[in-house]
Amino acid sequence: MDFSASMISSASGYAWVAPTPMVMMPAVFDDEAAVVKPTWRLYANIIVVVLPALQFGWSTSQLNNSMFHSERDCNVRPIVAGTCLMFPGHTLIEWTIAVSSWIVGGMIGSLVIGRVSNKFGRKPTLMINGVFLIAGSTVQAIANSIQIFTIGRVLAGIAAGGSTAIIPGFIGEVCPPHLRSKMGICFQLSLTLGHFFVAISFFIASTSTGWRYIAGFPIIIGSVFLLLAPFVLVESPAWLLMVNRPKDAENELARLYGENNVYTAKKWINQQQGNAEAKREGAVRLQDLGLSMIAPPPNTGQPSTLLRLFTSLRPQMFTALGVAGAQQLTGVYAIFLFSSSIFNEAGISDTRLSVLIVNFVNVLPTLVCGLFVARVGNRFLILLGLVGMFLGAIGITVSLLTNLSALSIVSIALYVATFGLSIGPLAWGIIADMFPDDVRAVGCSICVACSWCCSLFVGISYPYLVKTLGDYSFMPFIYTITLSFLMVFSLVPETYSKTIQEIQDEFATMWQKPKVVAQWRMSGGSQIPVLG
């Protein structure tokens, strides 16, 4: 069976369909996938590939215990303990640029890495990204001025942005459908552990040079990754098939699943590319069925283009963008900025302890998220989490109005815990699941860049919200959480334990008239086309 054949002939616009009516191939593939036992190498790949996510979490919180110190404050004698540790005497603008430059680097990295990985492959791109990770940390650790430190932050941001754009997609491409969501959670778990570990480091590196050790720690992460990656990581079989290297793809699948399971693994990877046997049996024009837009053109091995993402795949593209935006615009970044003052009012004056508590609460739900996903699925768990975040946001607002510190702590814990159980870890995998293999890298890049933009927007706008709205400063997030719930409920299909083609089928069903879809199924087609 030739798995590289496309379902659509670009020259004729015909769709090739199986002759037997009502053949439900994706379900069969999913059953086969569920009984395939991966080798140890699959799990080793997941462990190694999520190592750079530690740097993402680490760098996000790296400066939480550092602050701006004006030249006037640093010239005062005696200098207040714990102040003027980093580049004493810089301006507020310089400090703001240094802090925000990491996000700018993240946007650059996330936008660039998609096309790079399509051209050179996932594995080489991940290793190049690891070099940026080490370079960014090295420059920060040895910087003798805030300007040099800012350059290091940009480089570290490029590495973090690249990690968020490529790692979830890589996990989706090497995992079988029934493990994709569970393994995808490992990315967020690694990220949250990065948050947690850097919070611990604040207690042991709060010295005049301690910040340099904190800035340089990701060098170890990157070095371990680059040492292990050449021997442990496989090249993505989906990418190898996309560039017409089927023998290499089979070799990598054999490493991941064993020689006996290569055939089955190749089927679930290539569902969206069609089936040569069906091609020999017969064809039906999609236009004759009333479908205004046909499935993607055949896989030619060429890099993905924006045209497909915003035409035939625009429902998937805009849904994925909505999920990426919801992850940040629901206010989690503001929570991390806001928590120190809340805990201070509750009597916990040490900001290091408040940061540690919030990050600890963030880690715990992520550890058990996979168990809940297996029971209720991705979509329902995200909806449930958004309800919890909604209640937490209301609690925070009420506590601000009533000065109830205990309610503030409970509300923050509820918000962070439900975020860590739902849209926090699940968004990355769902975004990657939205796209067929040949456009996944570029699609994820755009969505992750959107996520970084939203983070920057929240980080810049939230202080102004506090200044303008006062005790009502968290009200806007109540509205964004509500809108996110409606968006997920209306647009996001269930992705847990489904093949990529089944997810495309869901979009086809959601965005086309039921009669058209029924007619297509009755025609004998085993697949529904990707629709715009």
Whether residue 362 has pLDDT greater than 90: no
Domain 36-243, classified CATH 3.30.420.40, yes or no: no
Q: What global pTM score does this model have?
A: 0.77
Whether residue 369 has pLDDT greater than 70: yes
Lowest mean per-residue pLDDT among 18-32, 214-228, 275-289, 518-532 = 275-289
Peptide bond into 78 cis (omega under 30): yes
In the chain, residues under CATH classification 1.20.1250.20 are 36-243, 304-498
Which numeric CATH code is attached to 304-498? 1.20.1250.20
Whether residue 80 has pLDDT greater than 80: no
Ordered DSSP codes for 463-477: HHHHHHHGGGTTHHH
Q: Which of 302-316, 360-374, 480-494, 516-530 has the highest mean pLDDT?
A: 480-494
**Buried residues in 442-468 as b, exposed as e (16+ CB within 10 A):** bbbbbbbbbbbbbbbebbeebeebbee
pLDDT reported for residue 78: 63
Cα dihedral: 438, 440, 441, 447 (round 10): 150
C-alpha 441/C-alpha 168 separation (Å) is: 10
Average confidence (pLDDT) over 233-250: 92
Whether residue 208 has pLDDT greater than 50: yes
Label residue 250 left, alpha or beta by phi (over 0 means left) and psi (-120 to 50 means alpha).
Answer: alpha
Q: Token pair of 56, please?
A: 């993402």
